Amino acid sequence: MAGNSEPSEVTHPMTRRDAMLQLLRLGGAAAGVAGAGVWLSEHSARPLPVVAEQARRDHRIAANPGLPQITVVQSGEPRALVQQALENLGGIRRFVSRQDIVVLKPNIAWDRTPEQAANTNPELVAEVVRQCWQAGAKRVIVTDVSCNEPRRCFQRSGIQAAARAEGAEVILPAPELFAEVDMGGVVLKNWPVFKPFLEADKIFNLPIAKHHVLTGATLGMKNWYGILGGERNRLHQQIHQSLVDLANFMLPTLTFLDCYRVLLRNGPTGGDLEDVALKKTIVAGTDPVAIDAYAAKAYWNLDPEHLPYLQMAAARGLGTLDFASLAVKVTQLG
């Protein structure tokens, strides 16, 4: 942040929902007073053979009514965005305890460069790794099950080098690293799951905001496809139900939605820099449904009726569709 100015309270002359959407749409162009912040809040407010009832991985932490459920940080570089987001949410030690095994799940699906915005920004990933070590984590693992050839994806995305530079274990997918799990879903029943995700104490979801040809947008919940092996393309036939099954199976400690660069069209693979918008933003929080609903509306004007998986996830108790009803803190960096 510029200078030593502290976040200040600001009254926004709009409805809560409109204010949130405008801020996210403006992104990096919305830089105001350096360090300015605003509360948008109501005043009340090791794998073994796994059986179905043991399959669900719930890594959530206890709610704190004194802290926001979502934070939006804008107009900064990736490391600064992560640092401020964590500060707004109560600090990394709220989410990571000493000796925790922490698994970070960025999107490393595609053989693309960071500028093409098909994978999570590598500097964002690196900063989350650094923060976890600061909190006393025992292990910090960065991994994904790529769609393109994994070695090229991990290398060309920049994530492998950035994560290793901060001391993370970077694990590439291999056939012997999957375990058959009864996931207890409607569509997802017995399915191979990548073992690092079954061994974690805490899991951070680090998706990137992108257009998607089937769902309109691919955000946090869609990122969980990268914990699965097998013929994932079969799941596209019932994509909304499979997304809800995944979200119900893997409940993250925290979600960092990378909106530093947003792939607005021709996702999820992208390739054309003309399809990428520089927003210099991160949306982070503990409600994955609200984060997806917020970004889908702000960047693609998609309401929940256009995203059945969000409606189904909310009905299943996995989060809140009405993102404006939550406690939200917005901070502009200089």
Q: What is the pLDDT of residue 316?
A: 95
Strand intervals (E) in the chain: 37-40, 57-58, 70-74, 101-106, 139-143, 169-171, 178-182, 190-194, 202-206, 208-212, 216-218, 250-251, 254-263, 276-285, 328-332
Task: Specify the number of domains making up the chain.
Answer: 1
Has residue 98 got a pLDDT over 90? yes
The two tokens of residue 156 are 């060309």
Can you say how many angstroms the Cα of residue 171 is from the centroid of all Cα atoms in its chain?
19
- 174's CB contacts (< 8 A; 6+ apart) are none
Which tens digits make up the pLDDT trace of 13-55? Answer: 578 888 888 888 887 654 444 445 676 654 434 444 444 335 7
Percent of the chain with pLDDT over 70: 88
d(CA 247, CA 254) in angstroms, rounded, equals 13
Which tens digits make up the pLDDT trace of 166-199? Answer: 999 999 999 999 999 999 999 999 999 999 999 9
d(CA 96, CA 41) in angstroms, rounded, equals 25
Structural domain boundaries enclosing 81? 57-271+281-332
Considering the entire predicted model, what is its pTM? 0.90
pLDDT band at residue 292 under the 50/70/90 scheme: very high
CATH of the domain at 304: 3.40.50.11440
Which tens digits make up the pLDDT trace of 121-174? Answer: 999 999 999 999 999 999 999 999 999 999 999 999 999 999 999 999 999 999
Q: Could you tell me if residue 9 is inside a domain? A: no
Q: What is the pLDDT of residue 37?
A: 62
Q: Could you tell me if residue 313 is inside a domain? A: yes
Q: Could you tell me if residue 31 is inside a domain? A: no
Which tens digits make up the pLDDT trace of 195-246? Answer: 999 999 999 999 999 999 888 899 999 999 999 999 998 898 899 999 999 9
Percent of the chain with pLDDT over 90: 79
Q: Could you tell me if residue 3 is inside a domain? A: no
Place of tokens 């059986």: 51
Which tens digits make up the pLDDT trace of 247-290? Answer: 999 999 999 999 999 999 999 999 999 999 999 999 999 999 99
Q: Could you tell me if residue 140 is inside a domain? A: yes
Q: Could you tell me if residue 209 is inside a domain? A: yes
d(CA 54, CA 182) in angstroms, rounded, equals 9
**Residue 43 CB coordination number (10 Å):** 5
Q: Could you tell me if residue 239 is inside a domain? A: yes
Q: Could you tell me if residue 30 is inside a domain? A: no
